[in-house]
Amino acid sequence: MCGIVGYIGDKNAYEIVINGLRRLEYRGYDSSGIALYNSELNVCKTKGKVEKLVKKAKKNISLEANIGIGHTRWATHGEPNNVNAHPLISNNGSLVIVHNGIIENYATIKNELIDKGYNFKSETDTEVLVNLIEYVQETENVKLGKAVQLALSQVVGAYAIAVFDKKKPDEIVVARLGSPLAIGIGESEMFIGSDVTPFLDFTRKVIYLDEGQVGVLRNHKETKFYEISNDSIISPNIETLELELSEIEKGGFDHFMLKEIHEQPKAIIDTLRGRLKLNKGIIKLSGIDNNLNKFTSANKITIIGCGTSWHAGLVGEYIFEKISRIPVEVEYASEFRYRDPIINPNDIVIAISQSGETADTLAAMKLAKEKGAFVFGICNVVGSSITRESNSGTYTHAGPEIGVASTKAFTTQITVLYLMALKIGKAKGIISNNVFNKYLAELNLIPEKIEKSLSFNNKIEEIADQIKDSTNCLYLGRGFNFPVALEGALKLKEISYIHAEGYPAAEMKHGPIALIDENMPTVVIATAKGHYEKVVSNIREIQSRKGKIIAIITEGDKDVKEIADYYIEIPETIESLTPLLTTIPLQLLSYHIAVKLGKNVDQPRNLAKSVTVE
């Protein structure tokens, strides 16, 4: 995920582009950059955040310009550094581009361009695109808009781009497919943004460029829009913005947490993209590919993490043991670092962290490395400390998570653990091709099944209304869904401040059952193939003590539906994949309870997004 900004008009382009980048920084902040034209092309870029760019730009380039584009990057191709930062310039030094998205066939195009004499400075797919546009422009002898259109018709992938030519600095060409792009229309000026926040201060008139469209934006002259595929001219809708800035930053959701809950289908698609190759029946995960022997010969895996990431690790324990038959221990990083853990040769330590900055996890990794373990990181934030400390690793690609309560990070961490376990299980010959392919097919369907689970939002809100005044709540699950019960309880605790406990369902009779009465609701995960009959017995035990039951059940369930006070259905899938679905209603339930209680959902008291102290 990246943010792009652009401006052409009579105002100072630098100020508008920089302020726009500040507002889009939630989209990624691995690097940032700006290109301005005023008798010469001035490009300034830097690894890191927009404020760093501001300092560098002030020292190094002229800030006077009426045309400019800018970018804040969440790295996909190439490590985040100054070279890979956008904007990127074409070989003849004339075209400059910013891009949000992924060009999937960039390697093929790059090789073709290399054969034609092009050279590349960065590792990015974007530099390939800008050179393809230049090549088309020169060989076809066409204007920039046409060159962009022809070049994009050769491209497979997702993009929102803004590009201009220093030889003709009176227009910016934009295009989109799969990534958002909004155009603000002012008096003799045009604004560009990945969302509307960069130009909300200047205009309320907006065009949301449609999929597969190109726009040639000019300040004083006619602006043109047409379809990439067939050249036909279009007249896009001009909409009037009525939203406030703060609302738009949350994408129209009331809270970042709700937005992030709803982003999970996309986050998982992004996590699977380029890795789960259904038609080839393979999983590509370079961190594992490059170390496959280590994993297939591992004696033991220790997973470390904190909070929600620790819960993802617990799901990982069940997955790895089932699919790849490797013994797994899951440790709180904060405990691991102060024990004297036994690490043997051939042991692997997997560190899980959304932020990549959690101090306990970082310290535990360092200890594991000192003891000779191979440390593998699963992380969401590109270039963070934990990614640097890992021997190898993989990103979750959930996109920035702003709400303090972790949601999409959890489900994408579990997704990565599935990919790892499946790849290793297949390489070890533990699972057959048939089973492997069945998992791939089901995993591929998870985003749409999450979408379906999200559609019960209103029903969950009604249930929240019924239980919001409870002071305690119990969460029960078994097998793969025991960690989900823990995570459900954590979500409720941290944002609603209601005391909640997660337990393996069968443990209830060893103590927690003493708490059950008519004032204590119990959330029970009762999936069809998850020790169903035994969980049904637990439900009956709770009900005979007047406890209220909120059941998470599989579509088609009859028994629990009849006896539970409230139920929420999830679509059917392989039992070991159910945590990706059962988690969704629990997130929504906590969210709605907290909102109804008037709590600060995105910034709960005493918590911080990235815990960099012990």
Can you tell me the distance from the alpha carbon of 304 to that of 321, in angstroms, rounded to the nearest whole number? 16
Residue in 361, 411, 415, 590 binding ligand F6R, rule: CB under 6 A: 361
Q: DSSP assignment of 42-85, as one string?
A: EEEEEES-HHHHHHHHHHHS----SEEEEEEE--SSS-SSTTTS
Work out whether 611 is an interface residue with ligand F6R (CB under 6 A): yes
Work out whether 306 is an interface residue with ligand F6R (CB under 6 A): yes
In terms of CB distance, is 37 or 395 closer to ligand F6R? 395
Work out whether 308 is an interface residue with ligand F6R (CB under 6 A): yes
Work out whether 66 is an interface residue with ligand F6R (CB under 6 A): no
Can you tell me the distance from the alpha carbon of 193 to that of 566, in angstroms, rounded to the nearest whole number? 44
Residue 232, phi then psi, degrees to nearest 5 = -70, 135
**Contact window for ligand F6R (CB under 6 A) among 320-328, 349-357, 415-423, 583-591:** 349-357
Least separation in angstroms between residue 253's CB and ligand F6R is: 17
- Of 2, 44, 306, 473, the active-site residue reads 2
CA distances from 606 to 3, 150, 197, 545 (A): 31, 54, 30, 35
Residues 5, 104 contacting (CB under 8 angstroms): no
Work out whether 131 is an interface residue with ligand F6R (CB under 6 A): no
Residue in 61, 147, 152, 405 binding ligand F6R, rule: CB under 6 A: 405
Can you tell me the distance from the alpha carbon of 15 to that of 199, in angstroms, rounded to the nearest whole number? 11
Residue 68, phi then psi, degrees to nearest 5 = -165, 155
Least separation in angstroms between residue 311's CB and ligand F6R is: 8
Tokens standing for residue 273:
């993209």
Q: Count the residues of the shown chain that bind ligand F6R, applying the rule CB under 6 A.
A: 15
Can you tell me the distance from the alpha carbon of 81 to that of 48, in angstroms, rounded to the nearest whole number? 8
Residue in 94, 213, 324, 406 binding ligand F6R, rule: CB under 6 A: 406
Q: Name which of 388, 304, 391, 390 is nearest 339 in CA terms.
A: 304
Can you tell me the distance from the alpha carbon of 105 to that of 29, in angstroms, rounded to the nearest whole number? 25
In terms of CB distance, is 401 or 569 closer to ligand F6R? 401
3-state helix, strand, coil in the chain (%, to 5): 40, 25, 35
Least separation in angstroms between residue 473's CB and ligand F6R is: 16
Least separation in angstroms between residue 269's CB and ligand F6R is: 21
Q: Please work out, in degrees rounded to the nearest 5, the angle formed at the alpha carbon of residue 261 by the alpha carbons of 520 and 418.
A: 95
Least separation in angstroms between residue 382's CB and ligand F6R is: 14
Can you tell me the distance from the alpha carbon of 275 to that of 277, in angstroms, rounded to the nearest whole number? 6
Residue in 66, 122, 309, 390 binding ligand F6R, rule: CB under 6 A: 309
**Contact window for ligand F6R (CB under 6 A) among 47-55, 307-315, 539-547, 585-593:** 307-315
The H or E element spanning position 394 is strand 392-395
2 is catalytic: yes
Work out whether 307 is an interface residue with ligand F6R (CB under 6 A): yes
Can you tell me the distance from the alpha carbon of 90 to that of 97, in angstroms, rounded to the nearest whole number? 8
In terms of CB distance, is 353 or 538 closer to ligand F6R? 353
Least separation in angstroms between residue 41's CB and ligand F6R is: 40
Residues 303, 316 contacting (CB under 8 angstroms): yes
Work out whether 125 is an interface residue with ligand F6R (CB under 6 A): no
**Contact window for ligand F6R (CB under 6 A) among 25-33, 353-361, 450-458, 460-468:** 353-361
DSSP 3-state of 34: strand
**Contact window for ligand F6R (CB under 6 A) among 57-65, 76-84, 158-166, 302-310:** 302-310
In terms of CB distance, is 311 or 548 closer to ligand F6R? 311
Q: Name which of 70, 10, 75, 24 is nearest 45 in CA terms.
A: 70
Work out whether 590 is an interface residue with ligand F6R (CB under 6 A): no
Least separation in angstroms between residue 270's CB and ligand F6R is: 18
In terms of CB distance, is 405 or 450 closer to ligand F6R? 405
Least separation in angstroms between residue 309's CB and ligand F6R is: 4
Work out whether 411 is an interface residue with ligand F6R (CB under 6 A): no
Work out whether 384 is an interface residue with ligand F6R (CB under 6 A): no
Residues 582, 551 contacting (CB under 8 angstroms): no
DSSP 3-state of 571: coil
For residue 348, list its beta bridge partners: 301, 374
Site residues, ligand F6R (CB under 6 A): 306-309, 353-355, 358, 361, 405-406, 490, 494, 610-611
Catalytic residues: 2, 609
